[in-house]
Amino acid sequence: MKRTMAIIAALASLAAGAAVKQGEAAPDFTAQSTKGEVKLADYKGKWLVLYFYPKSFTPGCTKEACSLRDGYADIQKAGAQILGVSLDDVEKQKEFREKYKLPFDLIADTDKKVTRAYDVLGLGGLVASRYTFLINPEGRIACVFDKVDCPGHKDQVLEELKKLQTERK
């Protein structure tokens, strides 16, 4: 089963459509999360790391989530919040968050509205493709990661976030 899920996650990354592009306005959303209802507007005026992943508890998704967890304090220090998104239901997202002690919220995008809005629905609509969007305080896509290094994703995000913030000064 684990091998099958890993294959599905890998294929999902390959099957992604054309995601929202850098410079575009971040698509607005309201969704159910592990902490209740969440909206993009909740992050207005802040940097947001919005990351999409295929499935909770799969090897790659777990490595990615744990990498962002391990870098959470540094990412927060850099002025950003983190929000994860998959098609898993709220209960599974809560279990995933609790088991791996994730300090950030996870969206349960069971109706696929957020994933479709960001154009990252993959594998025939079965999973979210692995993408991360850095959204600037003005609500625009500042960076798109379409090649995510799961175990080193915190480093990818921090490096780009610091670069973008330096360019803004």
Question: Tokens representing 95?
Answer: 């279990």
Q: Which of 61, 66, 143, 150 is catalytic?
A: 61
From the centroid of its chain, how far is CA 65? 9
Instruction: Tell me the β-bridge partners of 82.
Output: 49
Instruction: Tell me the β-bridge partners of 143.
Output: 134
Interatomic CA distance for residues 123 and 54, integer angstroms: 9
**Burial label, 165 (beta-carbon count in 10 A; 0-12, 13-18, 19+):** middle
Interatomic CA distance for residues 50 and 14, integer angstroms: 19
Number of H helices, E strands in the chain: 6, 9
Task: Decide the pairing of beta strands 80-86 and 47-52.
Answer: parallel
Interatomic CA distance for residues 47 and 136, integer angstroms: 5
Answer yes or no: 61 catalytic: yes
Q: Which residues are catalytic?
A: 61
